[in-house]
Chains A and B, each alone.
Chain A
Amino acid sequence: DAEITQSPRHKITETGRQVTLACHQTWNHNNMFWYRQDLGHGLRLIHYSYGVHDTNKGEVSDGYSVSRSNTEDLPLTLESAASSQTSVYFCASSERPRGETQYFGPGTRLLVL
């Protein structure tokens, strides 16, 4: 069955370190998204991609970057981790970009000390 996976599922890092969270989907979806979930804020969009080599900033993109070299993967990089980036991160994908259902990965819980 097609699926979307994230790794690692849990990570602890230190302030200032670079961290990369992986997202891999086998749906063959062109559209992929990264969200963060914080108490009291729901889910907020970080970055998204409509296809290979396409990336776009979302609502809370500062301090994050993504790159899309193939259809299946959209890694999220925290260039210099900050305590404010402690959060749960979700990756999602959809078949079409406009108004289509997004299917989510299991999430990565990141703690920045």
Chain B
Amino acid sequence: AQKVTQAQTEISVVEKEDVTLDCVYETRDTTYYLFWYKQPPSGELVFLIRRNSFDEQNEISGRYSWNFQKSTSSFNFTITASQVVDSAVYFCALSDSGAGSYQLTFGKGTKLSVIP
């Protein structure tokens, strides 16, 4: 069975600090997909990144970066020089051939608070 673990329930940082959100997944598949979504206080879910299991290249997009390591089944998300607007709940999700054929299984989320 697939599973996504976000061990950090809540994190608080001071503005301009760097912060890493952890995501560990379990799957038996060799082909799978990983995602990060952001849910700001307004409640909508915003797609951030999708990564397939064959692409272990790290990704950088502005202040955001993602570190995908198959050896440790982790897909961690780092925000550099955090800003108040980064305050949100962040969800990691896995899509594999498990329950319901490639449906998304979400972690329980990490609530990030950036303090000015």
Please report A residues at the B interface, Cβ cutoff 8 Å: 33, 40-45, 48, 56, 58-59, 88, 90, 92, 97-104, 106-107
Contact = CB atoms under 8 A, between A and B. Distances in A.
A86 to B, nearest CB: 16
B107 to A, nearest CB: 6
Nearest to B35: A101
Nearest to A104: B45
B32 interface: yes
B99 A103 contact: no
Chain B contact residues: helix, strand, loop or mixed: loop
Interface of B: 31-33, 35, 37, 43-45, 47, 50, 52, 91, 95, 99-109
Contacts of A58: 99-100, 103
B47 A45 contact: no
Nearest to A58: B100
A42 B99 contact: no
Contact of B43 (A41, A43, A100, A107): A107
A102 B105 CA distance: 12
27 contacts: A33-B103, A42-B91, A42-B106, A43-B45, A45-B104, A48-B100, A56-B100, A58-B99, A58-B100, A58-B103, A59-B100, A90-B45, A92-B45, A97-B102, A98-B95, A98-B101, A98-B102, A99-B31, A99-B32, A99-B52, A99-B95, A99-B102, A101-B47, A103-B47, A104-B44, A106-B43, A106-B44
Most buried by B among A58, A59, A102, A103: A102
Contacts of B106: 42-44
Most buried by B among A42, A59, A92: A42
A27 B35 CA distance: 20
A87 to B, nearest CB: 13
